[in-house]
Amino acid sequence: MNAQQIAEAARDAMWARDRASQALGMQVLAIGPGTATLAMTVREDMLNGHDTCHGGLIATLADSAFAFACNAYNEVTVAAGFDIHLMAGARLGDRLTAVATELSKGGRTGVYDIAVGNQHGEPIAAFRGRSYTLKGKAVVAGLPVALITVLDPWMCRLTSSPPSSLFCRVIFRQSP
């Protein structure tokens, strides 16, 4: 099993239990080690008193993308905190896409940036999440945990996901 297959198995297991993301009509469009893309269409029941999407729901979309990205290694990982900057309003019918990218992962902590945009490519929000990995807890029991060993930190971060084998090496260890 490779790192991409582990990410897909973790996505499937998390999605099956993620009632909040499902209730909001989110879809997981892409998954990979340390990355995820989710989408959500703004519905009538998501609008606030200004007829724009409630900022908390935009944050929820970004947070869900963050969760899928940081759990893609098959280790249970939770949010330690996040910041969000709302840059523009989203309107009824807008298709919002949240793209999560891992910036750093070391030890039990990680940092992820999530860009939220609309169907026109306009930026809606910028979210930065800080993660904490729980030791010894697998998302999918029995599957290995994918670990990224960085050979060149700068180039590993710049390459597309999944990480380039020229600059990053994916190793596996059996989950507990």
DSSP string, 97-125: EEEEEEEEEETTEEEEEEEEE-TTS-EEE
Residue 13's SS3 state is helix
Place of tokens 């940092």: 111
**10-29: pLDDT as tens digits:** 999 999 999 999 999 999 99
Residue 142's SS3 state is coil
What average pLDDT does the structure give for the chain? 87
pLDDT at 6 over 60: yes
pLDDT band at 136 (very low <50, low <70, confident <90, very high): confident
pLDDT band at 154 (very low <50, low <70, confident <90, very high): very low
Q: Please give the pLDDT value at position 144.
A: 77
Residues 66/39, Cβ–Cβ less than 8 Å = no
pLDDT at 159 over 50: no
pLDDT band at 148 (very low <50, low <70, confident <90, very high): low
Whole-model pTM? 0.84
Q: Please give the pLDDT value at position 1.
A: 78
pLDDT at 137 over 50: yes
